[in-house]
A and B are shown apart, each in its own frame.
Chain A
Amino acid sequence: MEALVAIVIGVLTTCGVYLLLRERTYPVVLGLTLLSYAVNLFLFVTGRLVSGAPPVIAAGVRGHADPLPQALVLTAIVIGFAMTAFVVILALRARADLGSDHVDGGPQAAEERR
């Protein structure tokens, strides 16, 4: 189970980083999303992988699921969601303002800067 989760997180991160390095805004946004999925999964498993354990300490039960990472993941998901929404709108606006979906504003904008 641990190996599977680790591989999943690794694959998500790899894909996320690859997409982040692309030159168009849409893959970059997707890369950010994949990266945040990987991070959320990672945060979730920092409480260790257990199944069927109570989330709070109960009498007569040894071992429990750590509730704190779950709370952290919820916070991270909410923040990540808001940020993704923001960056999508920003990417659309950049496409409108700069006339290109290149992350640097396209060859025309690069020409202007010079």
Chain B
Amino acid sequence: MRIALLTLLAVSMCAGAASAATISVSSLASGVTLGGSGTAGTMNVGNGNGLGVGTAATGVQRVVLASGIAYTSPFNIGLSGWGGGAAVTVSAYVSSNFAHGGGGTPLMRATYCLAADCTVAANHQFLSTSSAAPSTVRTGATNNTTFSTNAGGLIVYVNGGTAFTGAETATITFNAVDLNNTTHTASATLAVSTTVQTAVQFSLDTASGLSVTAGSTTDYLLDFGTVDGLGVSSGNGATKSTSASGARYSTSYLVRPAFSSMTSTTGTVRMYVSSNFAHTALLQLQDSTTGASNSFSAISTNSAAASQTLISAAAASKTDITRYLGLFVFAVNGAGAFVGADSAVVTYTLIVP
């Protein structure tokens, strides 16, 4: 009877230690404010897109990876009740994947970052989706340890039939085990959610000709410098061709459309002269696909979409279009002559159906 009592007491002490071991998730000041509870937290990284444009939610670290954009946040993991000799390993896996996280080419991926600097793309890894082979988050953690880590969702850059938008949620399960006493385990979950949006992007850049720079009152600026109707002036090094009516200064430049989460894989790019030169009898903006001297035509001054100058009706995302902008200077003498600076504005529009 006395022996039996001692045995029961020992079992009771072991059970007490195991039940006290916990793992919990909590907010980090620099990250997203977690919701839920310590053992079933929620992390909403807000709106996101495959281009990483727009404003990220407060506390969200947006990192450009090769396949898309990771919207992540730092947070804390706390360990308590493990006993003084504990050496705890924390692992994680995606126990409930994003709606678009499956298949051979998932369009959403749960990510984690263990490095001190999670602004570096290379420090982000994909979380395992297998409970049998989880990703290791921390090893050898002692009791009452709190450490910061980072997790989030990768929105894969995609267009076409597989593109999607809307809310996505994945649940990450964190498992902790004391390797000095593997009967001591604990778990917590973190539900990571985001709302995938469409995104469009457009930029102009320098090709092999004149520099396209940031504008002061416009988005971009191209300066032909000094020009004249005989083609004598350098035009900042632009290509020159002359005819009986004047001189054309021309340059190549890059038209760069990009978009994501669109069901169409191509868009339409148009342009028109939204603010013409003050001296339209002397200066005219022209466009060409090849840059050949006989290939230029005047850019539309009509804002109606159907009347604008078409750059491409099948512009692919992240595919540069080399285009040529011509400035024709009419050779004029007499009362219409003008010496001095002039400028015009061309408005470009990308529309993805």
Q: Do A and B bind each other?
A: no
Q: What is B's interface to A at a CB cutoff of 8 Å?
A: none
Q: What is A's interface to B at a CB cutoff of 8 Å?
A: none
